[in-house]
Amino acid sequence: MKSRPLLLAAALAAVCAPVLAAQEPIADVRELFAAHEQALDGHDLKGVMALYAPGDKTVVLGTSPAEQWVGSEQIADAYQHFFADFDAGTLKRSCPWILGDVSGDIGWLSATCEYQDSLKDVPRTYALNVSAVLQKLDGVWKLRAMHFSNPTAP
């Protein structure tokens, strides 16, 4: 379903602003999410992929069982589709609830977010739940796992 990749792209951007407030002492994590937001909104594949941990143990999950992208090649292909699902420069989000923590070289966060964007200049709004696992590799935070889910009709 074409709307699912759009939701993942928005979900990934969702974690950016709330982490700035929730994890204030962790500058590196803040910078990771700010960079992700900028790259995602700008449809910058190289910039987004630089934020993910390398290897075949990095994963992005969507809502349905078919929405699982493992490793750099599949994740990059998924982002190409996500970019096609919203106009660059239009992604905005608000996360009224977020919780996260860091312990050593592992961090995590969970958020409930509301999004706005547009596709072909038609504005849209939607909500997502987002979770992410981060790992510090060679002193740099990287995304190791990202998951999103969206409400579906019965």
How many distinct helices (H) and strands (E) make up the chain? 5, 6
Residue 84 φ/ψ, nearest 5 degrees: -70, -15
Residue 18: pLDDT above 50?
Answer: no
pTM to 2 decimals?
Answer: 0.78
Model pLDDT for residues 73-112, shown as the tens digit of each residue: 999 999 999 999 999 999 988 878 877 788 889 988 888 8
Tokens of 17: 């602003």
- pLDDT of 24: 41
Model pLDDT for residues 20-74, shown as the tens digit of each residue: 444 443 466 667 776 777 898 999 999 999 999 999 999 999 988 899 999 999 9
Identity at 22, one-letter amino acid code: A
Name every residue whose Cβ is closer than 8 Å to that of residue 9 and which is 6 or more positions away in sequence: 40, 79, 82, 83, 85, 86, 91
- pLDDT of 152: 66
Q: Which residue has the tokens 């078919």?
A: 66
- pLDDT of 61: 94
- pLDDT of 84: 95
Query: 13-17, 28-32, 125-129, 130-134 — which is least confidently predicted?
Result: 13-17
pLDDT band of residue 12 (cuts 50, 70, 90) is: low
Running DSSP on this structure, what letter comes out for residue 64?
Answer: S
Of 75 and 17, the structure prediction assigns the larger pLDDT to: 75
Fold annotation for 3-149: Nuclear Transport Factor 2; Chain: A, (3.10.450)
- pLDDT of 77: 96
Would you list the domain boundaries of the chain? Answer: 3-149
